[in-house]
Amino acid sequence: MPEGDTVWQTAKRLHTALAGRTLTRTDFRVPKYATVDLTGRMVLDVTPRGKHLLTRVEGGLTIHSHLGMEGSWKVFADQQRWTGGPAHQIRIVLTAASATPAAPDPDVADPTEAHPARTAVGYRLPVLDLLRTTEEHRAVGHLGPDLLGPDWDPDRALANLLTDPARPLGEALLDQRNLAGIGNVYKSELCFLLRVTPWLPIGALPAEHTAQLPLLAKKLLEANRDRPIRSTTGRRGQDLFVYSRANRLCLRCTTPIRVADQGDGSRERPTYWCPNCQAGPAPGTTPGAD
């Protein structure tokens, strides 16, 4: 599930594949941008912002994308078969020319062979916009401090979270206006580590846990931004404490983990918790396994 660490990894992969290279093909497969052609422009950088991706190109333009629940960007070599999903799920294709390294290897006949052309394909992207780079704030200006970004400010993040003390902790954590990068997985895992349910009003969180919250959230995302498999437990084969473990035994106390939806019902928000380890209010359980 794409969260801040996944987006950070995706941005790094796209930056490595595209930055500093000239686009030789651009194909926007959304009606609004069907006639847009960025061929001949150089990709300047790919930057993550919370769960958003900003791909900046020459001419002061930014391709803004969001992975949502099921979106992904895949990078392919020339002639490699695209394997991210069926063709009708593709929203954008960006092909960048092969690159000549700054210090070519004299033993390599064609220096571009070491840096061949790459194609980035965006699948199932629920958000895809083309913006002026000077207007990126229209897409990401509402976000709180980014847990993996240079603007991270734990004090401001905590102040944002505490603006509405009656709000359930889980909902406050998911609100990207408070702090950017947390999704359903980290919401459930953070609440477990803090030993409270996601339905506990954030203002009722014990003071020592309140101060710890932003630091713990950052620690979890930083620990996972370079890992192929997300882990909050440090245990091989048991990567998560509660998320997607409904009806399985708690790794701490062996009580069966429960699951229920959280929020207003407009989105699917399966929320996992241990009824024994985590104090606070909780709804009746919703039947269902992983």
Helix H or strand E encompassing 186: helix 184-193
Q: Would you tell me how many other CB atoms lie within 10 Å of the CB of residue 33?
A: 18
Catalytic residue flag (residue 29): no
Catalytic residue flag (residue 12): no
Catalytic residue flag (residue 218): no
d(CA 223, CA 106): 39
The answer for residues whose C-beta is within 8 angstroms of residue 138's C-beta and 6 or more apart is: 131
Q: What is the DSSP letter of 26?
A: E
User: Exactly one of 49, 51, 230, 258 is catalytic; which is it?
Assistant: 51
Q: Would you tell me how many other CB atoms lie within 10 Å of the CB of residue 57?
A: 22
Catalytic residue flag (residue 2): yes
Return the amino acid letter for 43.
V
Return the amino acid letter for 118.
R
Helix H or strand E encompassing 95: strand 90-96
Phi, psi for 211 (deg, rounded to 5): -65, -30
> Which residues are known catalytic residues?
2-3, 51, 269
